[in-house]
Amino acid sequence: MAEIVELPRPALHEQVASRLRSLVVEGRIAPGAKLNERELCAQLQVSRTPLREAIKLLSAEGLVDLLPNRGAVAARLEAADVVATFEVLAALEGLSGELAAQRITEAGLREIHALHYEMLACFARRNLAGYYQLNARIHGAINAAAGNPVLATTYRSVNARAQPMRFHTNHDERKWARAVAEHGQMLEALAARDAAGLRDLLVAHLHSKRDTVLELMQQGLFYPQAAPA
């Protein structure tokens, strides 16, 4: 009889961090809003200890700011922060694509294709949350296929702070459809092992995201109206 190996479960605070991260990324906790520990404990059905550990994790990712005498608030970025973040992120994703096109395995390529088709199904249903999760997994898979652990660590750190911005760029139907088309082009370049082409596509894709965020900010549409903390 084969031995049953029990896989380790994520620590409770990591599970809480994942759920809290979704609330911040999707704007259900508005940028600039205070994280009310009592309400979040009731909503997530956890005690304050794992919640506070989760908040520390999100603070390290740049999604939450810990302010003296105010506690934790959802991060609210200025235009300069957006430009700086996407400047670095575009370079990291471009390098990821360049290396992935050279190093990805056939199994890795099939997995990204499968994720892409799942993402298309979410787009067809206009399931933004599901679409975003699969989109993030695709970008993460390309980064992983680059086979560079230093690049992977740096990418995760910078990309974490950009998650809310990336999520909200797809509220515009036309721009969402354009992003889907761009993903199709990325897959074609990856399958063709076109390193330079995939790098350029990813850089342009991130620049487009940046411009959309800045446009929404200028129109006063990026941040929902939040009550003062």
CATH number reported for the structural domain that contains residue 53 in this entry: 1.10.10.10
In a domain, residue 56? The reply is yes
Cβ-count burial of 150 within 10 angstroms (0-12 exposed, 13-18 middle, 19+ buried)? exposed
In a domain, residue 103? The reply is yes
Residues 19 and 110 in one domain: no
Residue 5: the pLDDT is 41
Residues 60 and 116 in one domain: no
Residues 38 and 118 in one domain: no
In a domain, residue 226? The reply is no
- What percentage of the chain exceeds 70 in pLDDT? 93
**CA distances in angstroms from 175 to 71, 126, 168, 198, listed in the order given:** 36, 13, 11, 20
Is residue 167 a contact partner of residue 86, using CB atoms and an 8 Å limit?
no
How large is the average pLDDT for residues 61-78? 90
Q: Where are the beta strands (DSSP E) in the chain?
A: 64-67, 71-74
Q: Which residues pair with 34 in a beta bridge?
A: 73
In degrees, to the nearest 5, what angle opens at C-alpha 203 toward C-alphas 83 and 152? 90
Residue 109: the pLDDT is 98
Residue 202: the pLDDT is 98
- Which of 32, 48, 74 terminates a domain? The answer is 74
If you compute the radius of gyration of the chain from its CA atoms, what whole number of angstroms results?
19
Residues 209 and 119 in one domain: yes
Output phi, psi for 71, to 5 deg: 85, -150
In a domain, residue 6? The reply is no
Residues 185 and 98 in one domain: yes
Residues 118 and 213 in one domain: yes
Cβ-count burial of 131 within 10 angstroms (0-12 exposed, 13-18 middle, 19+ buried)? buried
Residues 70 and 102 in one domain: no
Residue 186: the pLDDT is 98
Is residue 207 a contact partner of residue 86, using CB atoms and an 8 Å limit?
yes
When comparing pLDDT for 225 and 73, which is higher?
73
Is residue 76 a contact partner of residue 24, using CB atoms and an 8 Å limit?
no
Half-sphere exposure of 102 (CA within 13 A, CB side): 11
Nearest alpha-carbon partner for 86 in 196, 201, 221, 209: 209
Q: What is the pLDDT of residues 153-172, one digit of tens each?
A: 999 999 998 988 888 888 88
In a domain, residue 223? The reply is no
pLDDT band at 2 (very low <50, low <70, confident <90, very high): very low
Q: Where are the beta strands (DSSP E) in 89-189?
A: none
How large is the average pLDDT for residues 134-146? 97
Residue 223: the pLDDT is 61
Task: Tell whether the model's pLDDT for residue 144 goes beyond 70.
Answer: yes
Residues 206 and 112 in one domain: yes
pLDDT band at 69 (very low <50, low <70, confident <90, very high): confident
pLDDT band at 7 (very low <50, low <70, confident <90, very high): very low
Residues 88 and 70 in one domain: no
d(CA 154, CA 160): 10
In a domain, residue 1? The reply is no
pLDDT band at 12 (very low <50, low <70, confident <90, very high): confident
Nearest alpha-carbon partner for 60 in 127, 134, 160: 160
pTM of the prediction? Answer: 0.83
pLDDT band at 224 (very low <50, low <70, confident <90, very high): very low
Residues 151 and 213 in one domain: yes
Q: What is the pLDDT of residues 99-127, one digit of tens each?
A: 999 999 999 999 999 999 999 999 999 99
- Which of 27, 52, 74 terminates a domain? The answer is 74
Range of the domain at 52: 12-74
The domain tally of the chain equals 2
Nearest alpha-carbon partner for 41 in 50, 32, 30: 50
